[in-house]
A and B are shown apart, each in its own frame.
Chain A
Amino acid sequence: EAGVTQSPTHLIKTRGQQATLRCSPISGHTSVYWYQQALGLGLQFLLWYDEGEERNRGNFPPRFSGRQFPNYSSELNVNALELEDSALYLCASSLAGTGKNEKLFFGSGTQLSVL
């Protein structure tokens, strides 16, 4: 069974551009989560989608947005890129969207570099 898949693996952009990151959850999982892992800052919660709806977002500016498609895959969009957006962006999925006590399974991430 395939795990969580993310694309692209690496993405290089310049300041002010937009980035789109994609994620496919484990088959049967309905919830998708996005986390940012910046150097030295640990994993920071970005967004949670379940059944196509945004259920919660972390303390990030509105230029971080996303969506979940009917097949439960998800996109993360980052507009007006800033240098400090350079990080590993991790997508995770879980079986159900209760919002609590879920086991999250992570993909390998997209390394975004903003020059």
Chain B
Amino acid sequence: GQQLNQSPQSMFIQEGEDVSMNCTSSSIFNTWLWYKQEPGEGPVLLIALYKAGELTSNGRLTAQFGITRKDSFLNISASIPSDVGIYFCAGHGSSNTGKLIFGQGTTLQVKP
């Protein structure tokens, strides 16, 4: 079945630094979504991407839909302590299954 490989698994950075994480798939995805999950909460949608090559920003967050449609990237600029959490990539494949496939998550810790 379709799988997503998300990296890195975890990051421990200094406040103010930029962060990059990515997801790759063995097959083509039609949609890429990026979520953030904080302890005791459900994932919150950050950015949705629908076209190959698309670059979308949401405040300090920028995500891109890879040209090959098999990868996506999320960048966070000038990190702040409230950026702490687990970031998940997720994607819809080519069939109408309603199934959103998730990466394993990137745990981000920010040192003030």
Interface residues on B, range: 20 to 34
Q: Do the beta carbons of A56 and B102 come within 8 Å of each other?
A: no
A8 within 8 A of B: no
User: Which residues of the other chain, A, contact B92 by a CB distance below 8 angstroms?
Assistant: 100-102
A109 near B45 with CB under 8 A, answer no
A101 contacts B41, C-beta separation under 8 Å: no
Expressed in whole angstroms, the Cα–Cα distance for A99 and B94 within the complex equals: 10
B98 & A4 in contact (Cβ 8 Å cutoff): no
Q: Is the CB of A58 within 8 A of B99?
A: yes
Q: Within the assembled complex, what's the spacing in Å between the Cα atoms of A111 and B50? A: 32
**Interface: A11 (CB within 8 A):** no
Interface size class of A (residues with CB under 8 A): 20 to 34
Residue B85 CB within 8 A of the other chain: no
**Which of the candidate stretches A14-22, A41-49, A68-76, A77-85 sits at the interface with the other chain?**
A41-49
Contact present for A100 and B103 (CB under 8 Å): no
| Bound form: Cα–Cα A42–B43 in Å | 11
B95 interfacial by beta-carbon distance below 8 Å = yes
Q: Do the beta carbons of B42 and A107 come within 8 Å of each other?
A: yes
User: B40 in the interface, Cβ–Cβ < 8 Å?
Assistant: yes
- A64 at interface, CB cutoff 8 A: no
Residue contact B98 to A48, C-beta cutoff 8 Å = yes
A115 located at the interface, meaning its Cβ lies under 8 Å from any Cβ of chain B in the complex: no
Docked-complex contact B97 and A56, CB < 8 angstroms = yes
Q: Is B43 a contact partner of A43 (Cβ separation < 8 A)? A: yes
- Measured in the bound complex, the distance between the Cα atoms of B103 and A42 in whole Å is 7
Are the C-beta atoms of A100 and B33 separated by less than 8 Å?
no
B75 part of interface (Cβ distance < 8 Å): no
Residues A99 and B96 in contact in the complex (CB < 8 Å), given A43-B88, A90-B43: yes
CB within 8 Å of A: which residues of B?
Answer: 30-31, 33, 35, 40-45, 48, 50, 88, 90, 92, 94-105
Offer 5 A-B interface pairs, CB within 8 angstroms, sorted by A: A43-B90, A56-B99, A100-B31, A103-B48, A104-B33
Q: Which residues of A contact B (CB under 8 A)?
A: 4, 31, 33, 42-43, 45, 48, 50, 55-56, 58, 90, 92, 97-109
